Structure 1
Amino acid sequence: MDMGFAGLAAAAANVGFGEAEYEFGSSASRARAAFQWGGTVFALILLILNRAGRRSAMQSNFLVLYLFTSFPTVLFKILRGQFGYWVSFLAVAANLFFPQTIPVSRFLLFVVTPVWVANGLRDSIVGCIFCLILGVSLVIAEIRGIGGFCNCRCNFHCFAYCLCIGFIFFFTILYLCSEIW
């Protein structure tokens, strides 16, 4: 029963393997993966810079919402599973003793958000537009936080913050363009 290469290719096409390979390697799925991983890395860097800098609660809230929408699917499923339940339980317990140190509400957003809201934001173009709006809000909050363009001093913190914001916009717009076209 030697079918040869042409016979195997025809059999694979009949089963549907060719279409699955094409969808897996499509530019939209690569752009989505880049958006999820790149956006997450730079949003986490911005959270660290915010914690080390002015400690703006508004910027932290924007970044957590951005992370909620752009967090990689594999890690998001882990956080929404049994592991996330235990971490949120321990975070709430720690918040009872150290309310100023451990802000629980931001982590609970990942665990207790209804499935239809989480999937609606994460699996559609609405989430990408939401991330773009959050990026603009981050820039506006930063400009207000430093007192406008007149009081802007260029230092490492400012440079790193602007670079990370630029990458967040890059990954968000890349994903938005790949979903539209």
Structure 2
Amino acid sequence: MLKQSNTQLIIIDVQGKLAQLMHQQEQLIEQLALLIQGAKLMALPIVWAEQLPDKLGATTPQIANLLTPLEPLSKSTFSAFKEPSIQQVIEQSQCKQVLLVGIEAHICVYQTAMDLLAQGYEVHLVTDAISSRTFENKSLAIKKLTHEGATLTSTEMALFELQQTAEGEQFRSLIKLMK
């Protein structure tokens, strides 16, 4: 069960022209935006990674605008966890549950998840907030990561699991967000 006190959101490489080439790109951006807003509402730590931004471009504006005032952390490794500055931020949160989102599912998301799992993190792969250029590659990544121990979830499922109760101001704000 996801707990607000033990969960962080890690966003992988939703940037440049590559983000526009993703399978179901519009749905991906919508779900990422919803998840980021929900994570901020719940004050979850957020880690924002970009793959070689000088070459691949900046994070998609719809996503970057929601992440203000955070700054993206640059990486050249496919796995965000192999970049020392990102690994340090992930570890500093002391949250062992990870909502993992971004692109591409079969490369950077997959390798980040594998490294997190190897280090004892509980990886919750948000399947409607990850993508690859092809459905086949996304599907393969989900199958392999499930086999390796990742837990599958969706944006709405994760946010309501974190919420746990249907009362209070946070719940009312979450419902408004979902509409």
Under a length normalisation based on structure 1, what TM-score does the superposition of the two structures give?
A: 0.32
Higher helix share: 1
Q: Which has the higher contact order (CA 8 A, sep 6+)?
A: 1
Higher strand share: 2
Q: Which has the larger radius of gyration?
A: 1
Under a length normalisation based on structure 2, what TM-score does the superposition of the two structures give?
A: 0.32
